[in-house]
Amino acid sequence: MHTPMLPGSACPYRTGELTRDMLTAQGFEITLLPALTDVDQVDDVAAVAEMRAALAAAMTDLPDRSRIVLTLRDAEDYSSGEVCALLGITAVSQRVILHRARATVRSRLETYFTTTGEAYARR
């Protein structure tokens, strides 16, 4: 496993203030969701695009650390141990951060899709 280092430093970066740019500079590719594949219908493409936009909006206001942990675990499929080593946090902290981030995103998505469903029903 590759531990990120500050430019010009011999020590792993451990303050927990890793940003997307720093991770990318260290060779980690961070994406919100995998690329579209096997979408056959125009409606499916539109639904996936809507879901992506809603997910991106739900993640926008998360604190940086929460967004990074959520992305690494759920989108990039990193293990708990890898995330802990990468960010220099304990397993307990990682679980708490991940739980809170998922709960926040879930709540925002529920609100979005409930509101969107009500808008379609009124048409």
- Sequence spans of domains, the chain: 20-32+43-122
Contacts 24+ apart (CB under 8 A), 100-107: 100/66, 101/62, 101/66, 101/67, 101/69, 101/70, 102/70, 102/74, 104/58, 104/62, 104/66, 105/55, 105/58, 105/59, 105/62, 105/70
Question: Residue 5 phi/psi, 5° resolution?
Answer: -125, 145
- Per-residue confidence (pLDDT) for residue 90, from 0 to 100: 97
pLDDT at site 49? 84
Nearest CA among 34, 103, 35 for reference residue 66: 103
Q: What is the CATH number of domain 20-32+43-122?
A: 1.10.10.10
Of 91, 97, 105, 92, residue with least CA distance to 65:
97
**25 vs 5: CA distance, rounded Å:** 10
| pLDDT of the chain, 123 residues: tens digit per residue | 444 443 333 334 333 445 556 566 656 655 544 455 555 555 677 778 888 888 999 998 899 999 999 999 998 999 999 999 999 999 999 999 999 999 999 999 999 888 876 655 555
Q: What is the pLDDT of residue 39?
A: 53
Q: Which pTM was predicted? A: 0.62
